[in-house]
Structure 1
Amino acid sequence: MGEVPEIKNLQQVIEPHLPEGCTLDSYSSCYLTKPGDNYGSIMLSVQAKVRSADGAIRDLPLIAKLPPLTNDLYWQIFQPERTCITENAVYQYLAPELDKLQLESGILPAHIFDGFPRYYGSRISLDTRTSKVDRDAVLVQENVTMRGYRAGNRHRPYNLAETVLILHYLAQYHALPIALRLKKPQVFEDCVRPYFKKFNVNSNIDQAELEIINNEILKDIKAVASDERDVNRVKELLGIFQALQPSKEVDDGPFTTLVHGDLWINNLMLKYGEEGTPLKVKIVDFQIAQYESVVHDIIFLLFSSVDVNVLEDNFYNFLSIYYNAFIQTLRSVNVDTSNYTYELFLEEVQQTAHLQLPHAIFMMKFILADNSTIPKDYKDADFSMLTKNTGAKTIKTKFEAILRTGKKFNIFY
C-alpha cells in the first residue's frame, strides 16, 4: 500500500471536538481499507492519545478520511472540490440540526436518530481563508468498529433481519431533513440545501471509457437476457441514468430529501447482539449525497445489497416497512402526515424506481469484482478492473436476478 500519508496539524481539527480541557498528545495511523472497498477517498485508522485536564492520557480510536491523494483518476472522478464539502456538511450542519429538531420535539436524547458516526472535525485546506478543497483536506470521525460496528462483506448480501433494520434507519435519515425543511424552512435553506446540489460523477470521465464499461455490462446482460428487448432496455436505462446526473435540480416534493446516493453494503456499518441479531446501523460516505426522491436510495439499496431471494419474497413488504417507519419519524417530530398517503408513495416508486436499476447493474462490476482483479495498491487502480470481470458467473447471476425481479415488480419497463 505504500507510505501512509501524513495528516498535518491534526490537533487543530479535533481539539475543538474533544471534552473541555483535553488536548491531542500524539497519534499514529495506518491504512484502514483494502483496495476495492473504497474508491473515492483514502481511509486511515488513527490511534490518538488524548490528554485530559488532569494529565491522564486515554486512547481515542478515530478514522481520518482524506481525498484520493495518490490516484489522479479518482481525484478527477470523485471531484473532492464538491464531495468533501458535501460530506463535511452532513456532520457540521445537518446532524446537529436534526438532533436539535428531535430534542425540541421532546424525543428523549437516548432515542434520537443515531445513524451518523460521531464527528471530530474536518477541514478542506490548511489555508483557513480558502473555499477550495486541496490535498490537505481531512474529515475525522469516531472509529465505530471499537463500539462493535462492522462493515458488511460485498460478497454476502443482507438477509431479512438486516434489511428490515436498515430500512428503519434509512426512513429516519430521509424523513428528518424533510421535517426540518417543513418546520424550519430558513434553517434548511441556509444551512443544508446549498451543500447538496446535483452531482455528476460522470462529468470528468472520458465518454469513451463510459462506452467501454457500458459495452462490457451489455455483453453480460446479453448472456442472461431472455430476449433482445431486455438488452435494449438495459442500454436505454444506462443512458437515462447517465443523463440524470447532470440534469437540473429537482423541485421540493413530499418525498424529496437528502438522499445518500450510494447506499450499498460498503457504506453501511452494522452492530450485532450476542445472538447475531442486527441492532444498530451507521451510515457512512456521504460524498455524493444530493437532493432527490427517497426512492433512489431505497431501490439502489434493495437491488444492489439485499439477498435476491429475500428481495423477491419481500419487495412490497419492504416498501411498506420503509413507508411506515418514514411516517412514524415525521409524526415523532410533529409533522402533519395527512398528505403522505401510501398510494402517493407507491406512485413515487413507480415513477422513479427504474432509474436505479442501471445504477445497481453498473455497481455490480465493483461490488462483485473478484478480489484477484483488484490491484494491491490504490495508485494502480483504474477502469481496466471493470473489464476483467466480464463473464464472471456471480455477476451474470446477479444481472439475471435484477432483470427478473425488476420485471416481476413492474419497475424494469
Structure 2
Amino acid sequence: MTSNENKNKNTNALVTYDQFKSFLHANFDNFDELLSFSASRALADGENYITTIIRISADIKLKDASREQVKFMLKIPLQLKESKEKKQTDDDGYHELFVTEANMYDNIVPELEQMYASVGVSLQFKPNKYRFAHEMSCNYILMEDLQARGFEMAPRREGLDDAHTKAVLDKLAQWHAASVKRIEIKGAYPEGYIKSYFSEQSLPFIVKMNAAFNEPFAQCMDAYDLIPTEKELILTFMRNMNELYVKFGSVDTQAFNVLNHGDFWINNVMFQHDGEDRTTVKEVLFIDFQLPKYGTFAMDLFCFLMTSPNWSIKLKNFESFVEYYHLKLIENFQMLRYEKPVPTLDDLRAQLEKHGLWAFVCAQRILAVALLDSQENSNIETFMSDNEEGRAFKKRMFYNPLYVSQMKEILPWLIEKNYLHYLTQVS
C-alpha cells in the first residue's frame, strides 16, 4: 500500500479506502487502481437545511495506465444534536425522506425520462445515482458530482435572469407533462406521494409548523409598510392556514394535477452553460427529490416563481412566466402524444388563484431562506422550531433588509392577485 493510500484510507469515516475501491471496481469497467481519495463538505450552512453534502474526490488509474480524477456527492442526514445514547441507525428522524428520494432516483424519475425516450427524445432530469456495496451506518444518496460536467448552482440571493428563469420553466413543463403521461401508462402514483404531509393525520404537525412561522412573522409585519386593511387581511389568512393546508393537499380530480418536485426553488436546480460567457443555458437538471407531491401544478410553479427569479423581474414578469410555462406544457403534451384534454391558460390562472396559499407560504418561508446570508445555525432545527433560538432565527429572516424590501411589494401584490382570499381557497 502506498503512502497516499495510508494517508487517505480513512478520510471519511463512512467510507473506507477499501470500500471505495470496491465501489469503483463495480461501477467503472476501465478502473484499475485507486491512488487516493478524500472527502470534504460541499455546501456551507444555509445552503441545505436537512442534509449534509460531502464531495468525494478520487484519483484513479485506468487499465490503459492513464490517470483520471472522479468526483461524487454523498448526501447524508444532518446531525443536529450529538447523543451518545442514540444509535447511528436511528440517527436522523428523516428516514422516510431518504426512502422517498431513493425511490424517485431509482424508479419514478427514470419513468418520466422514459416517457420521452418512447417518442425518440433523449432527456435527463437528474444526476446519475450510485450505491455502495457495503452497508452504510446511516441513510444516504450517492450521486455524480455535476460540477465535473460543468454544472453549477445559481446565486440564490441574486436570483435568476429572464433567460435562466425560462430555461427552468421549460424543464419544469417537461417534467410536469411527463408526470401526467406516466399515469396514462403506469397508473397512479404511490399513496404517500398523493398525501405527502398535507393529510388530516398530519394536522398536528401542520398546526405546530404554521404557529412556528406565523407568530414571529406577525410580530415583524410592521416592517412591511402595510396599510391596516392589508395587515388585517393577512392576519386573518394566517389564522385559517391550518384548514387551507389540508385543503391544498387534497387532490381535485377535475383540475390539472402533476407530480410536483415539491421543493422547487433555486437551490434545487443546476445549470450547464454554453461558451465562456456562462450566460447561455445548455442544460438544466433537478436535485433533491425528498418531497414529491401529486396534486396541483401550482405547488411547483408558485414555489419557483415566488423565490427564484431576480427581484427586478419577479412580479413584473410573473404573468409572462405563467404564459411561457403553459406554452411549453402544451408543446410537451403534443410531443408525448397525450390525447386527453389539456389545461388552457385561463384554467391555470384559475387554479393559481384557488391555490394562492402556496404563493404566500413560499414568499413567507422559502424566499426568506433564499435571501438570507449563510449562518452557522441555518438548519432545519432552527428553521422549524418555535423555541427561543428558532424564533430569533425567523426574526432574522423576516427583518433581513433584502427580504423586507421585497415583501413590501409582494404582500400587496398577493392581495391584488386575489391569492389571499380565504373563501376562494376553501370552496
Task: Return the TM-score normalized by structure 2.
Answer: 0.79
Counterparts in 2 of 1:255 and 1:68: CA distance versus 1, 3 Å:
same
Could you tell me which runs of 5 or more consecutive residues in structure 2 were left unpaired when the two chains were aligned: 1-9, 383-388, 422-427
Contact 2:49–2:378 (Cα < 8 Å) also in 1? no
| Distance of aligned partners of 1:272 and 1:203 in 2 relative to their CA distance in 1, 3 Å threshold | farther
Q: Is the 1:71–1:379 contact (alpha carbons within 8 Å) kept by the matching residues of 2?
A: no
Correspondence for 2:196: 199
Question: Are 2:185 and 1:183 aligned?
Answer: yes
Aligned to 1:269: 270
Which amino acid in the other structure matches residue 43 of structure 1?
Answer: I
Identical pairs, percent: 18
1:158 corresponds to 2:167: no
Counterpart residue number, 2:53: 43
1:233 corresponds to which letter in structure 2? L
Change in 2 beyond 3 A, CA 1:255/1:378: closer
Alpha-carbon distance between aligned partners in 1 of 2:180 and 2:401, rounded to the nearest angstrom: 41
Query: What is the SS of the residue equivalent to 2:155?
Result: coil
Give, in whole Å, the separation in 1 of the partners of 2:380 and 2:235: 31
Note closer, same or farther for the CA distance 1:291–1:379 as it changes in structure 2 (3 Å cut). closer
Q: Which SS does the other structure have where 2:317 is aligned?
A: helix
Is the CA contact (8 Å cut-off) linking 1:13 and 1:120 kept in structure 2? no
Shift in Å, 1:48: 3.1
Determine which structure has more spread, i.e. the larger CA radius of gyration: 2
- Secondary structure, counterpart of 1:196 in structure 2: helix
Partner residue in 2 for 1:32? 42
Q: CA deviation at 1:43?
A: 0.4
Aligned partner of 1:131 in structure 2 is none
Name 2:399's counterpart in structure 1: 391
Structure 1 residues 16 and 164: alpha-carbon distance in aligned structure 2, compared to 1, 3 A threshold: farther
Q: CA deviation at 1:367?
A: 2.1
* Counterpart Cα distance in 2 of 1:246 and 1:8: 42
Alignment of 1:59-208 (within 5 A): 59-71=69-81, 79-107=93-121, 109=122, 112=123, 114-121=124-131, 126=135, 136-185=138-187, 189=188, 192-194=189-191, 196-200=193-197
Contact 1:259 1:294 (8 Å CA) reproduced? yes
Letter in 1 for 2:285: K
Which residues of 2 match residues 244-393 of structure 1 at below 5 A?
249-250=250-251, 252=253, 255-273=256-274, 274-275=276-277, 276-371=279-374, 374-375=375-376, 383=390, 384-393=392-401
Partner residue, 2:4: none
Residue 7 (structure 1) aligned to one of 5, 10, 14? 14
- 1:342/1:395 Cα in 2 relative to 1: closer, same or farther (>3 Å)? closer
Contact 1:179 1:333 in 2 (8 A): yes
8 A contact 2:73–2:144 mirrored in 1:
yes
CA contact (8 A) 1:237 1:358 kept: no
The one-letter code sitting in structure 2 at the alignment partner of 1:404 is P
> How far is 1:315 from its partner?
1.8
Cα pair distance change 1:325/1:339, threshold 3 Å:
closer
Q: Is the 8 A contact 1:213 1:387 kept in 2?
A: no
Q: CA deviation at 1:87?
A: 1.1
Distance in 2 of aligned mates of 1:62 and 1:203: 38
Alpha carbons of structure 1 residues 106 and 345: separation in structure 2 relative to 1, 3 Å: same
Secondary structure at the counterpart of residue 161 of structure 1: helix
Residue 310 of structure 1 aligns to a residue whose secondary structure is helix
Counterpart amino acid of 2:302? I
Write the distance in 2 (CA, Å) between the matches of 1:14 and 1:252: 45
Question: Secondary structure at 1:66's aligned position in 2?
Answer: strand
Contact 2:79 2:91 in 1 (8 A): no
Contact 1:403–1:412 (CA<8 Å) still a contact in 2? no
After superposition, the Cα gap between the structure-2 partners of 1:203 and 1:63, relative to the gap in structure 1 and judged at 3 Å, is farther
How far apart are residue 168 of structure 1 and its match?
Answer: 0.5
Q: Equivalent residue of 1:149, what SS?
A: coil
Partner of 1:34: helix, strand, or coil? coil
CA distance in 1, matches of 2:25, 2:259: 27
TM (norm. structure 1) is 0.81
Label 1:408 to 1:35 Cα distance change in 2 as closer, same or farther (>3 A): same
Q: Size of the alignment, in residue pairs?
A: 391
Q: Which amino acid aligns with 1:39?
A: Y
Given that residues 259 and 295 in structure 2 are in contact (C-alpha distance below 8 angstroms), is that contact kept between their aligned partners in structure 1?
A: yes
Alpha-carbon offset, residue 53 of structure 1? 5.6
Structure 1 CA distance for aligned equivalents of residues 401 and 41 of structure 2 = 31
**Distance in 1, Cα, partners of 2:190 & 2:25:** 25
CA RMSD across the alignment: 3.6
- How far residue 231 of structure 1 moved from its aligned partner, in angstroms, is 2.3
Give distance in 2, aligned partners of 1:257 and 1:49: 42
